[in-house]
Amino acid sequence: MYQLVKPDNIVEILEKSVVKYSQRPFLGTKNKALKQYEWITFADFGKRVDNVRSGLSQLGIQKDDAVGIICNNSTEWAICFFATSGVNARFVPMYEAELAKVWQYIINDSQIKVLFISKKEIYNKIKDVLSSIPSLQKIILMEGDGPDTLADLEKKGAAKFVKSIYPDPSSICILIYTSGTTGDPKGVLLSQANITSNAHAAIACFPMLNENDRALSILPWAHVFGLAELVIYCYLGGSIGFAQSAATIADDIGLVKPTFLTAVPRVFNKIYDGLWTRMNEEGGLAKTLFVMGVESGKKKRELAEQGKSSFMVNLKFKIADAIVFKKIREKLGGRLKGSMTGSAMMNPEIAHFFWDMSIPLYDAYGLTETSPGATMNRPTKYKIGTVGPAMGLGKVVIDKSVVGEDSIDGEVIIYGPNVMQGYHNKPEATAAVMTPDGGFRTGDRGRLDAEGFLYITGRLKEQFKLENGKYVFPVAIEEDIKLNHYIENAMIYGEGREFNIALIIPDFVALDKWAEKNNLPKDHAELLKREETRKFLENEIMNQLKDTYGNYEIPRKLIFLEEPFSLENGMLTQTMKLKRRIVFDKYKDQIEKLYVK
């Protein structure tokens, strides 16, 4: 149906790069003691893939068998991924930070035969249920060097080489389970063509990227948005350094010195918030220059849009750029020429700030079911506030029938070689989202402009109607609340009710400083009971929303919570999306009290 760009399988992509870029660095791991990165070359990486592939073959793994892994991003993760495709098997990644019952469900549902586990600690959490899984034949520990370890498998593979298979484009490459906000996870079947066509389409959007480019791996490869980065840099001959953790990203950027990032908006929101916080605390000349840079950057951009220019505006910006913005760029490694952002919409004000600072942020859009990219802004074609035009051979169609033909938007439907093969073991769920002509119904609401740029306007499943009949799109309101320096997370509720309410998780790092200045208690539970605290946070939230949303959208009452929404308490998915029903069930009594007249 689609004329695929070659190579159309990840095994061939890797092997061509091993030959072409053999002595170039590929993956870098942080040496915590020395505070520097140690790199494996393409040649050495390729040898280890050969060994693991040969080892898997000796274990009897063949076409369409499932090989699972519970591991964070690492060189070994990537080795197991490419090795699995080399025997034409399917790879099933799982997160280390996951509930044991979810691991059990995925291992059972996908019928994993060989399971790689990163460390003994995780094995101990799941060992009691592994014996009851009939498909599971072998467990391989990825640390240590004794029997049934990755080192042992590599040794056996090195002793008996097995040539790689180039899988057919239609062969399943990876089975990724989406941690749905309701019900059991759904296994998304992505073929070799799905993964490679999306990589080729993304590379075509950024033709300036090459083997000299370097990324910092922030997003998990168990999610397809992060996985795309691995495949793209493998094809390019570029290099990727692993972030040690979310808490060390600022330091790791300085060590890796990336030229391009793949990130979620929250990374840049935090940087932006941190800069303003620091400037407000320091005050004086530093803040004056920073504000001058922000304001002159905005004015310079507005004049350029009118085909105009101002000597004084340009001079102010040049001064601020040389003294302030240059230092910020250096903190980000000094080589960053842009970032692709996805998973949520980038705030236009923050996007403009980074663009003005010569770090363009390119919003993209997609889902696990679209491998992931469907649309993408790019250097030659971008509009801030959109998620860009369709990528590669893909096409976007807006179905207005789900919201009303007179509407300016509708459900976003994606067509292309990136559209999944279906949900594993769920034919009814597959039929519910696939159109008869091969389109994928995203469940997202959007509109296309005359130039083909896509605007995401909401999520059909998450929108709700108030008692007065007005529709509310909670995600947009929540994202804007979270832009406030004092807020970590928020959930809007109001379906069928007279008004909206919001559950608010304060950012206690920021709130503690405010409390100390105002001689308020350090104990968080006590702090949230204080009228001064509640009034302060309420004002912050209302000021954040009042110029953007209608009165019916702005929450009328608030619940302040000490416990964060997290993976551990089951209130967030792996991609940090809210499990709304679980949150509601936990706080139902408090919510109901707010509606008592």
* 71-129 pLDDT per residue, tens: 999 999 999 999 999 999 999 999 998 888 899 999 999 999 999 999 999 999 999 88
Residue 350, domain member (yes or no): no
Residue 278, domain member (yes or no): yes
Domain co-membership, 154 together with 286: no
Q: What is the pLDDT of residue 183?
A: 67
Q: Is residue 126 packed enough to be buried (19+ CB in 10 Å), middle (13-18) or exposed (0-12)?
A: buried
- Alpha-carbon separation of residue 380 from 202, 206, 208, 352, 376 (angstroms): 13, 9, 11, 17, 11
Average pLDDT score over the chain: 94
Domain co-membership, 102 together with 199: yes
Domain co-membership, 281 together with 219: no
pTM over 0.75? The answer is: yes
Query: Structural domain tally of the chain?
Result: 3
Query: Does residue 293 register a pLDDT over 90?
Result: yes
Tell me the sheet residues that pair with 366.
373
Tell which residue, 545, 557, 563, has the closest CA to residue 595: 557
Which uninterrupted H or E stretch holds 580?
helix 580-594
Considering only 190-199, 315-324, 490-499, 564-573, which range has the smallest mean pLDDT? Answer: 564-573
Q: What is the pLDDT of residue 109?
A: 97
Q: CATH number, domain at 21? A: 3.40.50.12780
- Alpha-carbon separation of residue 327 from 265, 274, 280, 323, 359 (angstroms): 21, 14, 17, 7, 13
pLDDT 10s digits, 38-80: 999 999 999 999 999 999 999 999 999 999 999 999 999 999 9
Domain co-membership, 227 together with 274: no
Task: Please provide the DSSP assignment of 92-157 as one string.
Answer: EEE-SSS-HHHHHHHHHHHTEEEEEES-HHHHHHHHHHHTT-TT--EEEESSSSSTTBHHHHHHHH
Residue 113, domain member (yes or no): yes
pLDDT 10s digits, 241-278: 999 998 899 899 999 999 999 998 988 988 898 898 88
Contact 506, 486 (CB under 8 A): yes
Q: Is the peptide bond before 134 cis (omega within 30 degrees of 0)?
A: no
When pLDDT is averaged across residues 443-455 and rounded to a whole number, the result is: 96
Beta carbons within 8 Å of 161's beta carbon, 6+ residues apart: 50, 54
Q: Among residues 331, 354, 374, which one ends one of the domains?
A: 331
- The Cβ of residue 38 has, within 10 Å, a number of other Cβ atoms equal to 13
Q: How far apart are CA 140 and CA 159, in angstroms?
A: 18
Task: Please provide the DSSP assignment of 262-295 as one string.
Answer: EE-HHHHHHHHHHHHHHHHHH-HHHHHHHHHHHH
Domain co-membership, 304 together with 325: yes
Residue 338, domain member (yes or no): no
Contact 492, 477 (CB under 8 A): yes
Residue 490, domain member (yes or no): yes
Query: Does residue 291 register a pLDDT over 70?
Result: yes
Q: Among residues 279, 306, 331, which one ends one of the domains?
A: 331
Domain co-membership, 297 together with 213: no
Between CA 81 and CA 90, with CA 84 as vertex, the angle to 5 degrees is 95
For residues 469 and 444, the model is more confident at 444
Tell which residue, 172, 140, 177, has the closest CA to residue 156: 140
Domain that holds residue 507: 464-594
Query: Does residue 313 register a pLDDT over 70?
Result: yes
Residue 587, domain member (yes or no): yes
Contact 81, 91 (CB under 8 A): yes
Q: What is the pLDDT of residue 450?
A: 96
198 φ/ψ angles, rounded to the nearest 5 degrees: -70, -40
When pLDDT is averaged across residues 400-408 and rounded to a whole number, the result is: 84
Contact 414, 437 (CB under 8 A): no
Domain co-membership, 319 together with 235: no
Q: What is the pLDDT of residue 409?
A: 93
Domain co-membership, 469 together with 514: yes
Residue 423, domain member (yes or no): no
Domain co-membership, 158 together with 101: yes
- The Cβ of residue 342 has, within 10 Å, a number of other Cβ atoms equal to 24
Domain co-membership, 509 together with 544: yes
Spell out where 367-496 has E strands. Answer: 373-376, 395-399, 410-415, 422-423, 440-448, 454-459, 464-465, 471-472, 487-493
Q: Among residues 278, 301, 331, which one ends one of the domains?
A: 331
Domain co-membership, 189 together with 146: yes
CA torsion 94-99-100-103 (nearest 10°) is -30
Q: What is the pLDDT of residue 181?
A: 56
